[in-house]
Structure formats: structure tokens, C-alpha cells
Amino acid sequence: MILSVAPLLVWAWLNSENEPQKPNADEGKQADPSSAVVADKAAKRVRAKKNKMSRNQAFQVLIEHGFQPQIPTKKIPKIKIYAQDSIGLPLKEVILGEANEKPILIHFWATWCGPCKLEMPHFAKYVRSQDTFDVFTVTSELKDGKDDDFKKIWKFYEIGKLKGLNACSDSSGRLTNFLNVGAIPLTFVISADGLLFGSFLGTTDWANDELKDALEDYMGTSNEQ
């Protein structure tokens, strides 16, 4: 049976190889600095077209990738942190625990943390490619909120070519204490209405499409029963 089908498979392969290719409008054009942005937008479109997982399916995938659920979920109190979206910009106040338009990822890390350095390029790429979450990258190195300390973080981003991230300070320490942050890297997943759903402790595979899809689908259906 296999031998009789083999010629048909070879014929199909040869014909597919010889199909005329549509001309690429971008051929011959020089890559411009915005190409990374275009690629990120394309990634968003691709994920938007995928088949959506059910909440249970997404939850199981998250567990397989190290997700630690918060059971039961708990409300984040109103805690103020400070975020800088780009070097030199004024700090903006962010009040967690209030209603937000999107779910939130809070990522704790440090420039001296080896696992953080391995994880951060993949995390930064994911942050750029998605539009599901508001993301805040918090480090204790900014606890005092000094300008020079923020410049150190942006220099780290520049050297590592880490684009799309912000620099956040938990100057009061209230958020760190409430979430009981110890080891890093550590990423918390919070719903748009301020409920802590769980966390990823340690190096997480942010390059894994299954994980990213599951996280977005799970939080997208978090209010569905």
C-alpha cells in the first residue's frame, strides 16, 4: 500500500516545487529601521488568527510550563509604583489594584541576576509582539528612584538590545512585600480587575508559542464561567 502511494507523493511534491511564485513586492528593497516593528505587528496578526484554547486547555498548558496558580485568587491592594517608558522621560505613577483596561504582567528582575539575563531577551521580544497585557518590569535597583539608577537600567537595555520594556521602581517596597518576592526572575499574572491569578518563578520559556498563546487565551477568558 505504501509503495503504491509513494509515486503520487513524489508527483505532488515536484508539482508544488514548480508552482509559479508570486512576486515579492519587498524584494530588492533595503531593510529599514522599522522592520522590527513590522515583524512584531505581523506576529500579532498571526496569533490573532490561531484557534483559541478553552480556559481549561490554556490552564493545563500553563501548568506544564511552570505556572503556579494563586488559589484562591486574591485582590491586589492599591499600591503605587513608578514607571519610566524611555530614558529621560518623567516618571509616571501607576496605581496597581485599580481597574485596568488590560490584564497585567509584573516582572521582577535585576541586572546582576544570571537567569534574568538569559530570560530577558525572550521576554522583551514577547512584550513587543503582544497587545494583551500591560507590562511592568520592576527591579530593586531602582528602589530609591534616582536618575542615575534609571540610566543604569536603560544602559543595560541598550547593551542587550532589549526594546519595548519600561523601567519600574517599587520605591515604597509595598508591592514587593505584598507579593512576597524572594527569588528572581519572577513574573506575576494579574487580571484587569486587579486579581492575582498566579506567577512564573525562575527562567520561563517566553519564546515558546504554546505558552504565549495559552497565557493570552487564559487571561482573555478569565472572567468567563
What pLDDT, in 10s, does the model give residues 161-217?
Answer: 999 999 999 999 999 999 999 999 999 999 999 999 999 999 999 999 999 999 999
Residue 87, exposed/middle/buried by CB under 10 A (0-12, 13-18, 19+)? middle
Residue 37, pLDDT score = 52
pLDDT value at 4 more than 50: no
Determine contact, residues 189/70, Cβ cutoff 8 Å.
Answer: no
Candidates 98, 129, 96; CA nearest to 213 is: 129
Residue 121, pLDDT score = 97
Amino acid letter at 183? A
Total residue length of the chain: 225
Q: Going by DSSP bridges, is the β-strand pair 104-108/134-138 parallel, antiparallel, or unpaired?
A: parallel
Helices (H) and strands (E) in the chain, counts: 7, 8
Residue 6, pLDDT score = 39
Residue 9, pLDDT score = 36
Give the Cα separation of 204 and 211 in Å (integer): 9
Residue 174, pLDDT score = 96
Mean pLDDT, the chain, whole residue set = 83
Residue 220, pLDDT score = 83
Peptide bond into 103 cis (omega under 30): no
pLDDT value at 36 more than 90: no
Residue 51, pLDDT score = 83
Q: Binning pLDDT at 50, 70 and 90, where does residue 31 land?
A: very low
Residue 145, pLDDT score = 74
- pTM score: 0.77
Task: State how far Cα 209 lies from the chain centre.
Answer: 11
Question: How large a percentage of the chain has pLDDT more than 70?
Answer: 76
Residue 147, pLDDT score = 86
80: enclosing H helix or E strand: strand 79-84
Determine contact, residues 215/66, Cβ cutoff 8 Å.
Answer: no
Candidates 147, 148, 125; CA nearest to 135 is: 125
What pLDDT, in 10s, does the model give residues 144-175?
Answer: 778 899 999 999 999 999 999 999 999 999 99
Q: Binning pLDDT at 50, 70 and 90, where does residue 77 land?
A: very high
Domains of the chain, start order = 68-209 (3.40.30.10)
